[in-house]
């Protein structure tokens, strides 16, 4: 993790800081989507994001669904459902992907 931390601080962070919020959002989502494609990628996401807490005290039920914890990604972060598995590896118990549209739509104006 030390090598990754150094790479992030010296190479990745300066590049990412030059992106606007919409570009950063896209880069983060697509990086997570790529990471979730392999077991190694999922393990790296899991390790860098912290492990999921499996305490029964955090379990919640809503509308007949049972969740490991009450933290769910809100609609809009992954509108197309491209990185659901990666978000789960990060520790979120659910992802609201919103609606599925025939054609992509731009985000809100800046």
Tokens read off for 13: 């962070």
State pLDDT tens for residues 86-110: 888 888 888 888 766 778 777 777 7
Distances (CA, A) of 49 to 18, 53, 67, 99: 23, 12, 19, 27
Residue 102's alpha-carbon distances to 58, 64, 80, in angstroms, are: 37, 30, 11
The pTM is what? 0.68
Q: How would residue 1 be classed by pLDDT, with cut points 50, 70 and 90? A: low
């Amino acid at each position: 993790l030390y090598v990754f931390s150094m790479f992030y601080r010296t190479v990745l962070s300066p590049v990412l800081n030059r992106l606007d919020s919409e570009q950063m959002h896209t880069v983060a989502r697509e990086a997570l989507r790529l990471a979730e494609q392999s077991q190694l990628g999922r393990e790296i996401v899991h390790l860098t994001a912290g492990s999921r807490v499996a305490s029964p005290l955090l379990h919640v039920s809503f509308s007949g669904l049972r969740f490991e914890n009450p933290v769910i990604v809100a609609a809009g972060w992954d509108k197309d459902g491209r990185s659901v598995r990666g978000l789960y590896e990060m520790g979120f118990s659910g992802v609201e992907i919103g609606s599925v549209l025939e054609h992509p739509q731009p985000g809100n104006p800046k």
